[in-house]
Amino acid sequence: MPRTNTRQAAGATLADLALGAVRPPTGQGYASLVRGKLTWPQPSEPARDRDVAAALWRDSALLTGLPGKRFRLGSPNMTEPFGMFEVEVSRTERLSPSFLRVTFSGGDLAHFADIGYDQRIKLILPLPGHGLAPMPQGPGWYQRWRELPGELRNPIRTLTVRLARPHLCEVDVDIALHDDDGHSGPVARWAATVRPGAPALLFGPNAGFDGPSAGMAFRPHAENGPVLLAGDETAVPAIAATLERLPAGCTGEALMEVPYEADALDIETPSQVKITWLARSGVPRGSLLHPAVVAAADRLLPPLAANDSVEDVDVDDLWEVPEDERPPGPLYAWLAGEAGVIKGLRRHLVADRGMDRRAVAFMGYWREGRSETG
Ligand SMILES: Cc1cc2nc3c(=O)[nH]c(=O)nc-3n(C[C@H](O)[C@H](O)[C@H](O)COP(=O)(O)OP(=O)(O)OC[C@H]3O[C@@H](n4cnc5c(N)ncnc54)[C@H](O)[C@@H]3O)c2cc1C
């Protein structure tokens, strides 16, 4: 299809752009959608057409119904740290008895931020008979989703980005398959049967956002540690992605409790952090992780003087992530997994070992017997 020049492109519709019928102007600047037509000022700086077109296509869902909204060419959702990415499953790989790697792909992912560490995202799944159609789009989508009747509410669950490859428009997530004891949730059921081509939405970080990254809890007290990373199988993707980005001089320990010995995955880290896998092999959840954290704390923390006063901790909390850029203390601890187990670990570090609570990030990633509610 012949492309029109820049002047003809002004006034085109988003659909024209998406179909390649018109070429957007090169240049940064702001475009507006007025009565379904695009308008933009003279370009001031060079930009790549491909990015502009992708940005417009990507924003079309958000912009529909928002006449007059301005957005920046070349960087979608520029003002928002997170955006909705339309994806489909391109492949799956069973990494071990308990882990399934799902690779999502989609043109939108060219604008997915590759942040690493424990970057969290939301996975939004199709509903039987409705697919992704009921999912509200645009500003306020979450509130509108909550107000939908239950049968029209697409399941939303939190996962970690295991690896983002925006240059290939791909994102990997590793899903811990829970034993099917009759109450598996939507993600576990979906993961058990998912095939390439399955559609989904990811609510994830925007590469175009120029503010501080959101959705990350790992904020160590010092670049080179020591750090203590501890969690169950649901925290393995976050711990693995964190280990891969730690600097070479960083020291500490990573303790991961998984269902089986064969769930010990290959993780490469440039750091000096010692990696230990703890295979439950049928013993109760947390019964290996708790003593391992107690022992690691003995190795990594200075001895507690007999008259040191320790802080009591609020045992009802399920999530506390220190906001301080540089939390105080000799050790930084990051704990995630089943809420009851994680609470016990945090209590030990803060109440028994006297760690400053601002140096302990603890996150109940899921709760035994409770579904995540979005
Ligand atoms: C920030 C964050 C990051 C996360 N990252 C990951 C990740 O990368 N990979 C990952 O697999 N999970 C991750 N999780 C945990 C995941 O969101 C929960 O396990 C979620 O409950 C799974 O959804 P579901 O639909 O399978 O089950 P739900 O509908 O939420 O729960 C159904 C039932 O299953 C139980 N259940 C939930 N998870 C498990 C489990 N793992 N084992 C056994 N029983 C379970 C619940 O207690 C409930 O009884 C993360 C959670 C958070 C908050």
Q: Is residue 339 in some structural domain?
A: yes
Ligand 1, atom 19: closest residue by C-alpha: 366
Do 86 and 185 fall within a single domain? yes
Contacts 24+ apart (CB under 8 A), 33-39: 33/63, 33/66, 33/67, 33/68, 33/69, 34/67, 34/68, 35/67, 36/67, 37/11, 37/12, 37/13, 38/9, 38/10, 38/11, 38/12, 38/13, 38/14, 39/10, 39/11
Cα torsion 247, 350, 357, 229 to 10°: value is 20
Average pLDDT over residues 170-186: 84
Helix or strand run (H / E) with residue 340: helix 339-347
Q: What is the pLDDT of residues 51-68, one digit of tens each?
A: 444 444 444 433 333 333
Q: Is residue 218 in some structural domain?
A: no
With beta carbons less than 8 A apart as the criterion, state whether 303 and 330 touch.
no
Do 259 and 184 fall within a single domain? no
Q: Say if residue 171's pLDDT is above 50.
A: yes
| Neighbour-count burial for 174-198, b at 16+ CB within 10 Å, e otherwise | bbbbbeeeeebebbbebbeebeeeb
Q: Ligand 1, residue 179: give the atom nearest the CA.
A: 43
The domain of 50 spans 6-72
Q: Could you tell me the distance, in angstroms and rounded to a whole number, from the CA of residue 366 to the centre of ligand 1? A: 5
Please name which of 294, 298, 244 lies closest in space to residue 273, comparing C-alpha atoms. Answer: 244
Ligand 1, atom 27: closest residue by C-alpha: 185
Task: Give me the pLDDT at residue 213, please.
Answer: 75
Q: What is the pLDDT of residues 308-360, one digit of tens each?
A: 666 666 556 677 777 766 778 899 999 999 999 999 999 999 999 999 999 99
Do 186 and 141 fall within a single domain? yes
Ligand 1, atom 53: closest residue by C-alpha: 365
Do 86 and 51 fall within a single domain? no
Burial of residue 224, with CB atoms counted within 10 A of its CB: 0-12 exposed, 13-18 middle, 19 or more buried: middle
Do 262 and 200 fall within a single domain? no
Do 99 and 151 fall within a single domain? yes
Do 233 and 199 fall within a single domain? no
**Which of 123, 218, 234, 242 best tests ligand 1's pocket when mutated (most atoms within 8 Å of CB)?**
234
Contacts 24+ apart (CB under 8 A), 148-153: 151/127, 152/127, 153/127, 153/374
Could you tell me if the CB of 366 is within 6 A of ligand 1? yes
Q: What is the pLDDT of residues 7-35, one digit of tens each?
A: 344 555 544 544 444 444 444 334 444 44
How do beta strands 227-231 and 252-258 pair? parallel
Could you tell me if the CB of 321 is within 6 A of ligand 1? no
Q: Ligand 1, residue 238: give the atom nearest the CA.
A: 8
Tokens of 315: 């045992």
> Given 174, 205, 236, which residue is the final one in a domain?
205
Q: Is residue 259 in some structural domain?
A: yes
- The CATH number of residue 286's host domain is 3.40.50.80
- Minimum mean pLDDT range among 7-21, 70-84, 259-273, 297-311: 7-21
Tokens 């398959």 appear where? 177
Per the structure, the count of domains in the chain is: 3
Q: Is residue 245 in some structural domain?
A: yes
Could you tell me if the CB of 119 is within 6 A of ligand 1? no
pTM of the model: 0.81
Do 194 and 279 fall within a single domain? no
Q: Could you tell me the distance, in angstroms and rounded to a whole number, from the CA of residue 83 to the centre of ligand 1? A: 22
Tokens of 222: 């010092």
With beta carbons less than 8 A apart as the criterion, state whether 159 and 104 touch.
no
Do 95 and 167 fall within a single domain? yes
Do 252 and 355 fall within a single domain? yes
pLDDT band of residue 303 (cuts 50, 70, 90) is: confident
Could you tell me if the CB of 367 is within 6 A of ligand 1? yes
Could you tell me if the CB of 175 is within 6 A of ligand 1? yes
Do 250 and 195 fall within a single domain? no
Do 93 and 67 fall within a single domain? no
